Amino acid sequence: MCGISGIYNLGHKQPIDTGALKRMIFMLRHRGPDEFGLYCDGHIGLAHARLSIIDLAGGSQPMHNEDKSVWVVFNGEIFNYLELRSELIAHGHEFHTRSDTEVLVHLYEEKGEEMFADLNGQFAFVIWDKRNQRILAGRDRFGIRPFFYTLVNGQFLFASEIKALFTDPRVQRQIDPKGLDQLFTLWATVPPRTVFRGILELAPGHCLTIHNKTLCTRRYWQLEHTSPGGTSRVDEEYYAERLEFLLQDSINLRLRADVPVAAYLSGGIDSSLISALVKKYYNDRLQTFSVSFGDKDYDEASYQKKVAETIKTAHAEVSCSYGDIADIMTDVVWFAEKPLIRTAPAPLYLLARLVRDSNIKVVLTGEGADEVLGGYDLFRENKIRRFWARYPNSRLRPLLMRRLYSYIPNWPRSASGFLEGFYRKHLVPTDIPHYSHIPRWEMTVKIKSLFSARLQHEIGSYSAIEEFDAGLPDDFAAWDSLAQAQYIEMQTLLSGNLLSSQGDRMMMANSVEGRLPFLDWRLVEFGFNLPAQFKLKVMKEKYLLKKISKGHVPAEVIERVKQAYRAPDAASFLHAGRRDYIDGLLSESMLSRSGFFDPAQVGMLTAKLRAMDTAAISARDNMALVAIVTTQLLEKLYIKDFVSRTQGALPRELAAWKPPA
């Protein structure tokens, strides 16, 4: 895993500012602390910060082909690189390293823009075709690795993180009101939109080309839904065997590294199964890592320890308190590069730090299983709501919600008031494309009600939901309701939050690479198109995954009530974790200066929450406070204090580099 950046002149032939290129890549040193590399050729400059994992001695970048006519900077891993390498050698290509990076330049020579179909990996890269004066950039199918770009004064600038783009003083640092509205509606920004004006994100499964001064993006992969036939007992056994084969093959590919590979252990079935399979078949000396909480409402340590003891891993954990979350939130927002509505990334930042302090560079994680195999409460909630909608006046059907969310602290003992006022509100019609996500997107309405008059005016009539619906597949209405909900989840929260704010950004802040076996594209296509009852059987989530987990994972973990990963929110800022900087961010003067939220309304909200017991704070108010604090932090870090925060001397190896004569 690495950081990449670059500058390309679209039209004019002014020399590349190598100083600007150096500043860009230096901002990504946390992503690649092992080595810097640069390349300049006329009107293009490429830069790379390396976290060395494969071919430690020979994998330096930027990398080129035999005659230096094709160059690449690459962030990520191509897991099937050995197979691709063998095929390319058979076609006459010569390799000079053992790196997966070199596969990219030769595969481009062989297949050009069609190369993406052959790649099984998590990646963002840029290829410079010197002979044809052409750029090709691409991002993996699910957006595991980031890629941002902007256009300024006839130049195309790209980087793994936005902060690198902002080192160029020509790039304006401004918050995009529509980006904020989208994030606080869909719980994530959806590419190409970001929360910054003029900064674009290449969408997952897309590539970008620049040729003859023309920039184009296109989708190279689309998750499609087909309806498999037959659901007999024989079919169930076949599907179970196929799922286990795909998962084991995915894990095996993701263990390819020249450094040790460890695993996260959350206490849930996904990471537990991955760890168990690795320990049993591939690595008897597996190390596992977990995060625990002092607040028992959030803690899953007992399950984590049960799995670690059962499969006998070398296990370590980090404990996270309210104060810890408050103390590191500035760093969390700095690396996330967007506001948050939950504090969940903060404990994962601490977890990644523990991994790095243990001299581990690579961990396997369980992300993707819930989206692909039907694990989220949202999917069960969607099923209940549709069941309830057939008889909207039923007194019994709404009570299913109480059973669904019984693990959440302060869940109403009597369902009537909450259910009547929240879920019943949007019970019908059920043919709305985003029907499954209406309750979730309603949860953040409170945040937008606190927007300042100026921000509301700038947002105007823009609708994030209408924009999102317009991008859904043409045949989306014909999909079954579970597949619809899964697709929306993958397009919003998975890519825009779990894989970025909670995943790549928190890990790479600590120079740790995460690998996600459940997001092998073969497994995703298979799982997404399973018969619905093999994912969500009545109200049993991840039915098929639980079936193949038996014998590998302790029964207590398989049979436990589903508990979503959460962390303390408002309590981390207003009570045990209260810090002076939080009070400053929420002060009337700072709220007025930034101009995003109405100071009077925010003042009433914070006064109310400070007077309440933390267990009594509603989910809406929790998310509203986190959103306000982190938006204020983002503005301070990236608008107000960015220049002073990023000043400093370049390291000697960067400062001394000069392009070859």
The tens digit of pLDDT for each residue in 93-129 reads 999 999 999 999 999 999 999 999 999 999 999 999 9
The contacts of residue 413 (CB under 8 Å, 6+ apart) are none
Contact between 539 and 387 under an 8 Å Cβ cutoff? The reply is: no
Amino acid in the structure at residue 138: G
Strand partners, 64: 71
Q: What stretches of 30-166 show up as alpha helix (H) in DSSP? A: 81-90, 100-111, 162-165
Average pLDDT over residues 322-344: 96
Question: Could you give the CA distance from residue 583 to residue 352 in angstroms, rounded to a whole number?
Answer: 28
Question: Token match 């839904």: residue?
Answer: 225
Question: Could you give the CA distance from residue 611 to residue 595 in angstroms, rounded to a whole number?
Answer: 26
% of the chain residues with pLDDT over 70: 95
CATH number for 2-221 (one of 3.60.20.10, 3.20.20.70, 3.40.190.150, 3.30.450.20): it is 3.60.20.10
Strand partners, 597: 451
Instruction: Give me the pLDDT at residue 409, please.
Output: 55
Please write down the long-range contacts of 597-602, taking CB distance under 8 Å and 24 or more positions apart.
597/450, 597/451, 597/452, 597/455, 597/628, 597/631, 598/450, 598/451, 598/452, 598/453, 601/449, 601/450, 602/450, 602/628
Does the pLDDT of residue 522 top 50, yes or no?
yes
The reply to whether omega before 433 is within 30° of 0 (cis) is no
Does the pLDDT of residue 5 top 80, yes or no?
yes
DSSP one-letter code for 391:
S
Question: Could you give the CA distance from residue 534 to residue 340 in angstroms, rounded to a whole number?
Answer: 34
Question: Residue 414 — very low, low, confident or very high, per pLDDT cuts 50/70/90?
Answer: very low
Question: Residue 418 — very low, low, confident or very high, per pLDDT cuts 50/70/90?
Answer: low
Q: What is the mean pLDDT of the chain?
A: 92
Does the pLDDT of residue 535 top 90, yes or no?
yes
% of the chain residues with pLDDT over 90: 79
Question: Could you give the CA distance from residue 329 to residue 336 in angstroms, rounded to a whole number?
Answer: 10
Does the pLDDT of residue 70 top 90, yes or no?
yes
Window from 21-30, 135-144, 185-194, 572-581 with minimum mean pLDDT: 572-581
Question: Could you give the CA distance from residue 273 to residue 288 in angstroms, rounded to a whole number?
Answer: 12
DSSP one-letter code for 628:
H
| Delimiting residues of CATH 3.40.50.620 domain(s) in the chain | 233-372+487-559
| Delimiting residues of CATH 3.60.20.10 domain(s) in the chain | 2-221
Backbone angles phi, psi at 52, to 5 degrees: -80, 125
Q: Of 448, 397, 456, give the one whose Cα is nearest residue 423.
A: 397
Q: How far is CA 570 from the centre of its chain?
A: 23
The contacts of residue 492 (CB under 8 Å, 6+ apart) are 186, 187, 188, 190, 437, 468
Strand partners, 75: 124
Question: Could you give the CA distance from residue 36 to residue 62 in angstroms, rounded to a whole number?
Answer: 9
Instruction: Give me the pLDDT at residue 235, please.
Output: 87
Sheet holding 35-41, edge to edge: 35-41, 44-50, 2-9, 155-159, 148-152, 200-201
Question: Residue 396 — very low, low, confident or very high, per pLDDT cuts 50/70/90?
Answer: confident
Question: Could you give the CA distance from residue 171 to residue 527 in angstroms, rounded to a whole number?
Answer: 42
Question: Residue 278 — very low, low, confident or very high, per pLDDT cuts 50/70/90?
Answer: very high
Question: Token match 């190369």: residue?
Answer: 115
Average pLDDT over residues 347-356: 97
Instruction: Give me the pLDDT at residue 413, please.
Output: 45
Q: Of 432, 420, 434, give the one whose Cα is nearest residue 388.
A: 420
Question: Residue 405 — very low, low, confident or very high, per pLDDT cuts 50/70/90?
Answer: low
Does the pLDDT of residue 183 top 70, yes or no?
yes
Question: Residue 410 — very low, low, confident or very high, per pLDDT cuts 50/70/90?
Answer: low
Structure tokens at 303: 């399950």
Contact between 229 and 235 under an 8 Å Cβ cutoff? The reply is: no
**What is the helix (H) or strand (E) element at residue 351, kind and residue range?**
helix 345-357
pLDDT in tens, 153-177: 999 999 999 999 999 999 999 999 9
Amino acid in the structure at residue 373: L
Average pLDDT over residues 608-620: 88
pLDDT in tens, 226-277: 865 545 556 899 999 999 999 999 999 999 999 999 999 999 999 999 999 9
Question: Token match 């019908």: residue?
Answer: 428
Instruction: Give me the pLDDT at residue 529, please.
Output: 95
Q: Is 553 exposed, middle or buried (0-12, 13-18, 19+ CB in 10 A)?
A: buried
Question: Could you give the CA distance from residue 377 to residue 563 in angstroms, rounded to a whole number?
Answer: 9
Question: Residue 576 — very low, low, confident or very high, per pLDDT cuts 50/70/90?
Answer: low
Instruction: Give me the pLDDT at residue 205, please.
Output: 98
β-pair type (63-64, 70-78): antiparallel
Domain covering 233-372+487-559 in this structure, CATH number: 3.40.50.620
Question: Could you give the CA distance from residue 584 to residue 363 in angstroms, rounded to a whole number?
Answer: 37
